[in-house]
Amino acid sequence: MRRVRSIAGDSVNLLLYRELGRCDDAAEETLWRLNPALAEYGPALPAGVWVIVPEMQSRPGAVRPVLAWD
């Protein structure tokens, strides 16, 4: 895990996308578990907040859609 600083106006999704190249539910849930106090800042983070970013694959594998006739 690594620590990064937020930029003024960052949201959790924007920060995840910038650092990991993804902002799906699994990445967001992991980030919130590592940083429970982030919720105190609201939807937009101020500049300079240290955030622990989880070590995850940059992009999850492509999910094959389920078709009705499979």
Digit-by-digit pLDDT tens for the chain (70 residues) are: 899 999 999 999 999 999 998 888 989 999 999 999 999 999 999 999 999 999 887 665 566 778 888 6
Residue 51: closest CA among 34, 39, 27: 34
What confidence score (pLDDT) does residue 59 get? 61
- pTM, entire model: 0.74
What confidence score (pLDDT) does residue 70 get? 61
What confidence score (pLDDT) does residue 53 get? 93
Gap between the Cα atoms of 3 and 29, Å rounded:
17
What confidence score (pLDDT) does residue 58 get? 62
Q: For residue 18, give the 3-state DSSP assignment.
A: helix
Whether 15 and 22 have beta carbons less than 8 Å apart is answered as no
Gyration radius from the chain CA atoms: 14
